[in-house]
Amino acid sequence: MNLADSGLPGPPPLVAVIDPRILLGIFVILVGAALVVAVRLAQANRDPLPLVCCGGALVAALNEPIYDILGKIVYAENNPMAYHAFGRAIPWFLVLGYLPWVGLAPYLVFKAMQAGVTRRTLHIAAATLFVSVGCVEIFGNSLRLWTYYGEPPMKYLGVAPQAVTYPLVGGFLLYAFASRLSGWRRVLTGFTISVMILPIGYAATSWPGYFALYADLPPVVDWVASAALLAMCAAMAAGATYLAQRWRESVDPHGPGSAGQPASIRQIVFGASLPVARSTAGPLGKNSS
């Protein structure tokens, strides 16, 4: 018995015009390359964090059907499927895709922040990520591998803008919290950040779009909601790079504009003009071991 109503329309049926295994093969290659990079970084730095982030990202892939429903996204039925939830089938390529974008990318951003890469460069990198995701979206939509069945402009803002938030915010959180830890604390913190950064990034920025997609509002309200979504994505990304810059100024004695000695996160808030912190306790109240 159907109980559907106009408030929650079902997705349209969709069949890809090309063999979806081609896309899966492309993603397998991409993911393989990302894994190689992660392994080499782990070996070079003697640090399991890159691999932990990749593992956490694969767990985060379980969030996918939630944002597919909220963002009105559906995948071609002939995609090889990884799992079913919320009445949706989630393709393998998508689950694997979490590894480079949600796992490795935040770790690379973290290392870039730690190395003192400028905000401008990070923003260019974020824009590159945005373009890369946009290209993937155009590719996938044109070949009917997936589609957005909501109305514009929200249907165009379901994935690409958010792709600049979770890598930058995830990178900052790894920098601010995991970098100062070692052992099981580092692993647990990195894994937790990797698991939650995608839902945080989507929920914090995309709720206006989700509301507009499911409310019968005048077009002008849809455009306002979409503008709010874009503004919050940009604000979140800029906020992450700003905090990372201030964090580095407070903890890197050799970097430009540094405070000279390591300090606690208080200098993030009040700037480098404060006296050196009496305690080097980090945000978790513990010194790195």
Partner 1 sequence: MGGPTVVSVTALGQRPEWVTASSSAWVYTLVVGAAFVVSVIWCVVYVVRQRDVLPLVMLVGGLISMGLEPAVDTLGKVWYARDNPWVVYVGMGVPQPAFLLMGYSLFWGGAVYIASRLVGQGLSIYTVFAAVFVMDLIVEYLGVSVLGVGLYYDFSPLKLWGFPLWWAFVNAAAAVIGVWLVITLEPRLTGWRRAGFLVTPATAFGTTHAACAWPVWLALHSDAPPWAGYVAAAYAIAMSLGLTAFVASELRTRRAAQRDLIIMAEAHGAVG
Interface residues for partner 1 in 174-233 (CB under 8 A)?
192, 196, 199-200, 202-204, 207-208, 210-211, 214-215, 228, 232
How would you write 183-195 as a 3-class SS string? HHHHHHHHHHHHH
Give the Cα separation of 186 and 54 in Å (integer).
14
Question: 117 or 173, CB closer to partner 1?
Answer: 173
Asked if 284 touches partner 1 (CB under 8 A), the answer is yes
Burial of 192 (0-12, 13-18, 19+ CB in 10 A): middle
**Is residue 46 within 8 Å of residue 102, measured between CB atoms?**
no
**Which is closer to partner 1, CB of 123 or CB of 144?**
144
The verdict on 289 binding partner 1 (CB under 8 A) reads no
Q: Which of 70, 90, 95, 126 binds partner 1 (CB under 8 A)?
A: 70
In the complex, minimum distance from the CB of residue 274 to partner 1, in angstroms, rounded to a whole number: 6
- For residue 9, state whether it binds partner 1 (rule: CB under 8 A): yes
Q: Smallest gap, in angstroms, from Cβ of residue 67 to partner 1?
A: 9
The residue within the footprint of partner 1, chosen from 147, 162, 165, 194 (CB under 8 A), is 147
**Minimum distance from CB of 203 to partner 1 (Å)?**
3
Q: Which window, 1-9, 96-104, 123-131, 155-163, contacts partner 1 (CB under 8 A)? A: 1-9
Q: What single-letter amino acid sits at 135?
A: C
Question: 90 near 58, Cβ under 8 Å?
Answer: no
In terms of C-beta distances under 8 Å and separation of at least 24 residues, what long-range contacts does 187-192 make, across chains too?
187/48, 187/49, 187/52, 189/284, 190/49, 190/52, 190/53, 190/56, 191/52, 191/53, 191/55, 191/56, 192/56
- Determine if 149 is a binding residue for partner 1 (CB under 8 A): yes
- φ, ψ of residue 148 in degrees (nearest 5): -110, 115
CA atoms within 13 A on the CB side of 92: 15
Report 87-126 residues binding partner 1 (CB under 8 A): 87-88
Indicate the residue among 143 and 284 with the shorter CB distance to partner 1.
Answer: 284
x/- track of binding to partner 1 for residues 239-268 (CB under 8 A): -------------------------xxxx-
Closest CA to 82 of 15, 150, 20: 20
Residue 30: CB atoms within 10 Å: 17
With contacts defined by CB under 8 A, how many residues of the chain interact with partner 1?
56
Minimal distance, residue 38 CB to partner 1, in Å: 24
List residues binding partner 1 (CB under 8 A): 1-14, 62-63, 65-66, 69-70, 84-88, 144, 147, 149, 192, 196, 199-200, 202-204, 207-208, 210-211, 214-215, 228, 232, 264-267, 269-270, 274-275, 277, 279, 283-285
